[in-house]
Amino acid sequence: MVTYGLTKEEAPTPTDENISNGIRELRISKALPLLKETFDIMKRTSFIVLNIVDQLHSLYYKKDRFYKNVYKNFQLFSALDTLGKACGLIYLIDLIVQENTAIRDDFSKFKALIRSMYKEPARFEVTELQLKRLDKLLSKYERTILCGACFLGTISQTYDQKVDPNFTSLSSEKPIKENKELYELFMEYFKKQIESVGDIIGSATETFERKTMFEVYTLYALYRKLYPQEEDRNLWKKLWQIQKKSPIIVLYSHIVFSIPDFMNTITPLSRKSMGKDPRDAEAYILEFVEKKDDTFEREMASYNEQFCTWVAQMDSSYGRASSLVDLSKVNQTFQLKSRLLMSG
């Protein structure tokens, strides 16, 4: 779906005339299995999110015996990691659909073609029942995937489900928004991620931190739906401030996640924050890009120098396995090799 509508570099760019001559409809017909697979993944992931939230609500409840005996002294951050990955996956689908307008345009053409076939089904060797089934599937995809609002639908589910009495029924006494124990788990998780992941973004040791923060942002949106009364403006400001290190996060190919757009549209504050930094996101992005343009050559030259130095050291006698032959210097050699590996 990321590259939908693109042609081979050597192929001529289709004109509006030959695009409308059945090519758009054909492209969507070939993409229907992918749309079905995407819908199934999205639906299953939404159920997983619902299930994890309800189980956390059951476990992190002060009257529950599991909480008293175990979870009171244990932070189940792995479950929140999974929630963030699931929410991030669904929001990625939205970003792809919103960015690639050809998907929606071609889908409209294909749906119009299917409806025109109702006049003479036999001419196309199909029955009216088959057309109705296909039309029903198309409407389902149009209401979910192609509207670009899968993520909002997922985080807006009804999470206060009736709990299985065989597991525990105590947490059903109160809605999730009144569960202080689960709220504190979310707060500790966001604090940890901002300190351990957010601070590394933009540093020389950064690897996967930006994509991890993307998942944190989508989890934060879910948290805001679960606790609409707990706005926590200080947390919002900290998440907003991360854009000073990286205004956008490249997720896949040309699909990017904009921190200011997400914070303003998906998780806005009830009233404007006067102390947010940066104040003007668009102006800051322009300034950010200009500074990067000015320092790009120097940064690349510095990285190249550091890389060449590291490669030379790794290729030296200390970086080779043959240096371990001298047993009297094994400890020293291992220390040097470890430093080189860590610095690389």
pLDDT tens string 82-113: 999 999 999 999 999 998 888 989 999 999 99
Digit-coded pLDDT (tens) for 188-212: 999 999 999 988 888 877 888 999 9
Q: Which one has a higher pLDDT value, 2 or 9?
A: 2
| pLDDT for the residue numbered 309 | 82
Peptide bond into 33 cis (omega under 30): no
Contact 130, 117 (CB under 8 A): no
| pLDDT for the residue numbered 221 | 97
pLDDT band at 132 (very low <50, low <70, confident <90, very high): very high
- The alpha carbon torsion through 289, 295, 297, 299 (nearest 10 deg) reads -110
CA–CA distance, 131 with 115 (Å, rounded to integer): 8
| pLDDT for the residue numbered 331 | 73
Let me know the angle formed at the C-alpha of 258 by 253 and 259, rounded to the nearest 5 degrees: 135
pLDDT (average), residues 314-321: 61
Digit-coded pLDDT (tens) for 140-189: 999 999 988 899 999 999 887 665 555 545 556 788 999 999 999 999 99
Q: Per-residue pLDDT for 30 more than 50?
A: yes
Q: Which one has a higher pLDDT value, 4 or 165?
A: 4
- 80: phi then psi, degrees, rounded to nearest 5: -70, -35
Q: Per-residue pLDDT for 136 more than 50?
A: yes
pLDDT (average), residues 233-251: 92
Contact 109, 241 (CB under 8 A): no
- Worst-scoring range by mean pLDDT, 61-70, 213-222, 329-338? 329-338
* Three-state secondary-structure class, residue 256: strand
pLDDT (average), residues 278-307: 85
| pLDDT for the residue numbered 241 | 93
Q: Per-residue pLDDT for 10 more than 50?
A: no
| pLDDT for the residue numbered 326 | 63
Contact 150, 93 (CB under 8 A): yes
Share of the chain above pLDDT 90, in %: 43
| pLDDT for the residue numbered 1 | 65
Mention every residue, 6+ apart, whose C-beta is less than 8 A from residue 228. 177
| pLDDT for the residue numbered 20 | 52
Q: Per-residue pLDDT for 129 more than 60?
A: yes
Contact 176, 57 (CB under 8 A): yes
Sign of torsion over alpha carbons 227, 229, 230, 234: positive
Q: Which one has a higher pLDDT value, 310 or 318?
A: 310
| pLDDT for the residue numbered 274 | 79
Q: Which one has a higher pLDDT value, 234 or 12?
A: 234
| pLDDT for the residue numbered 77 | 93
pLDDT band at 328 (very low <50, low <70, confident <90, very high): low
Q: Per-residue pLDDT for 17 more than 60?
A: no
| pLDDT for the residue numbered 155 | 94
